[in-house]
Structures are given as C-alpha cells and as structure tokens.
Amino acid sequence: MATYPPSPPSRFGFASPKLSPHPTDTVLPDRGSIDQSKSHGPTALAWLHKSCASLLPPRSWYLYLRTHTFPMAAPLPVNEVARHSALASYAILDTDPEPSFDDLSLLASFICKTPIALISLIDEQRQWFKSRVGLSVEETSRDIAFCSHAILQNDIFVVPDALEDERFRNNPLVGGEPHIRFYAGVPLINEEGYALGTLCVIDKSPRQLADGEKEALRALSRLVLGQLELRRNLVQLKLALTERSAEEHERQRELAKLQAQLLRIAGLSAPHA
C-alpha cells in the first residue's frame, strides 16, 4: 500500500509519521465533530491544512487529527504589531551577552533554586534569549515557547507540572531537552504596556514557588525592565548624537561654501591698481 509522508513540521521540532490512506469502509467523524480548539494548536492545524490536505484523502487526515496531539501554540496578543514594533525599538535582538542582564538571570536561578533561568524576548517567529543560565541554545520557535503564553498575562505565569497541563504535555521542550516540568515566568511589560518577553525560571521536576520566591522574581523582572530602558535610552542618545554630528558637519560645509563665495565676491569688487 502506498504511503503519504507529509513534510516534517520544522516549526514544532518533530517529524510526522508516515500515513496510509484510511480504508474506505471505516466510519470517521465529520469535520464539525473535531474539537479543534481544545485538542490542537491553531498553528498546528494551519500547517496540517497546508501540508497534508493535498497529500492525504480527507478522511485519512481527519483520523490523523483524532489520533495525534500537538503543542498548543499561544494566541497572538491583541496588540501584536505594536508590541513587536516596541521590541524593535530597543535594538537588542541578537546582541552579545551583557553582565547587567546575566547577573539578574543568575540571581533568579539562585533565589528560586532552579537549574535554568532565562531572559526571553518574543520576536515575530521565535523566542530569543538575551541571557540564559543552564541552557545552551540561543533561541527556540515561538510556537513551542512557554513564554508565548506568559506574555499574555499581567502577572507571574506558573506551570507546576507541564505533563499535567494539556497545553504543554506534548511540547517537544517537555518530551525532549531541556525536559521542562516546571515553569514560572514574569512578563516584562514596559511603560507603554507592551509585553516584550519574560524573566523565567525552569526546573526538570514538578514544583511550586514560595510566595517569597514569587516576589523576588517580580522584583528582578523590574530590574530587567530598568536595564532594557537604560539600554534603549543609550541607543537613542547615541543615534541623536550621530544625527546631530551629521547636521553639524553639513552646517560646516555650507558655511565653508558661503565663505568661499564671499571671498570671490570681495575679490571681484576690489579696486584694481
């Protein structure tokens, strides 16, 4: 029997199994009976529609949806376009590590007694780590990021046990490295009200944070925001000085041209001996 292997969904970090056409005598539920909102993330469904619909008989990929679960991608914030523009204004993505941020993530790891602590910034398609303790990768897909859920909150977002949470139990970051079981993240909400990312701590065992640890994490998140604002102000000041220097240089050129013209006029008008 021929098989129909769809392209692997690289944005989720796992490959799809090969699928065979479903026997025609098997009764499958119609489209309306599949609860898409509870069982599958919207991005996963979009990928399946795009990549599998032309390869699989319709009833076969209905069965695939019924028998496979996917990470539930977080919905986009309602102010996503403005939020992303605000993040870009900090000019911080893909910059080198800085001690002022690394010290805060190290403190978060120490205070909350977790092996992993991150300062995560949510870009358009990825989460990028400005600072990381206990993790080697610099970024992951946004679709599988716990922090994508955290930026939708106004306060600390806690997942005591990812395997017991339907949003995360099939997440490749739970089943594979770094084997997340516990997550707590405070959204980094700037003065304009945009959630830029999170300060988060991660453990490989289920647990809770004590009230004091939560307060300390909130306090550290405010320090992270302070560093972000300080960095943005310095970038903007440098840009303003560069622009001012360029304007001053242009004024000097115009003044030199004017002086040269005056000298020529003075030479023409001088009485001849």
Predicted confidence at residue 69, as pLDDT, reads 55
Confidence of residue 16 (pLDDT cuts 50, 70, 90): very low
In this prediction, residue 272 carries a pLDDT of 56
pLDDT tens, position by position, 118-127: 999 999 999 9
Is residue 23 within 8 A of residue 43, CB to CB? The reply is no
In the chain, what's the furthest Cα-to-Cα distance? Answer: 116
Calculate mean pLDDT across residues 6-25: 40
Rounded average pLDDT over 36-48:
44
Q: Please report the pLDDT score of residue 32 as a whole number.
A: 37
Helix (H) or strand (E) holding 121: strand 116-122
User: CA 185, 180, 45 angle in degrees (round to 5)?
Assistant: 90
Q: What is the mean pLDDT of the chain?
A: 80
Counted residue by residue, the chain has a size of: 273
CA-based angle 186:191:195, to the nearest 5? 40
CB of 60 closer than 8 Å to CB of 21? yes
Dist CA 147 CA 127 (whole Å): 8
Q: What is the pLDDT of residues 54-101, one digit of tens each?
A: 555 555 544 544 445 566 889 999 999 999 999 999 999 999 999 999
101-113: pLDDT as tens digits: 999 999 999 999 9
Residues 4-28, mean pLDDT to the nearest whole number: 39
Burial call 134-145: b when 16+ CB within 10 Å, e when fewer: bbeeebbbbbbb
DSSP state of 155: S
Do the Cβ atoms of 184 and 217 come closer than 8 Å? yes
Half-sphere exposure of 149 (CA within 13 A, CB side): 20
pLDDT range class, residue 266, cuts 50, 70, 90: confident
Query: Which residue ranges form the domains of the chain, and what is each CATH number?
Result: 10-67 (no CATH), 80-232 (3.30.450.40)
CA separation for the pair 133, 202 (Å, rounded): 10
pTM assigned to the model: 0.67
pLDDT score of 48 more than 50: no
Give the other-Cβ count within 10 Å of 60's Cβ. Answer: 18
- The backbone torsions φ and ψ at residue 27, rounded to the nearest 5 degrees and listed phi first, read -85, 125
pLDDT, tens only, 231-260: 989 888 887 777 777 777 777 787 777 777
Query: Which pLDDT score, from 0 to 100, does residue 22 have?
Result: 39
Could you give the strand order of the β-sheet that contains 139-141, starting from the edge strand earlier in sequence? Answer: 139-141, 126-133, 116-122, 195-203, 182-189, 157-159
Band of pLDDT at residue 6, cut at 50, 70 and 90? very low
Q: What is the mean pLDDT of residues 32-39?
A: 37
- pLDDT tens sequence across 134-182: 999 999 999 999 999 999 999 999 999 999 999 999 999 999 999 999 9
Mean pLDDT of 219-238: 92
- What string of DSSP letters covers 30-68? -GGGS-HHHHS-HHHHHHHHHHHTTTS-HHHHHHHHHH-
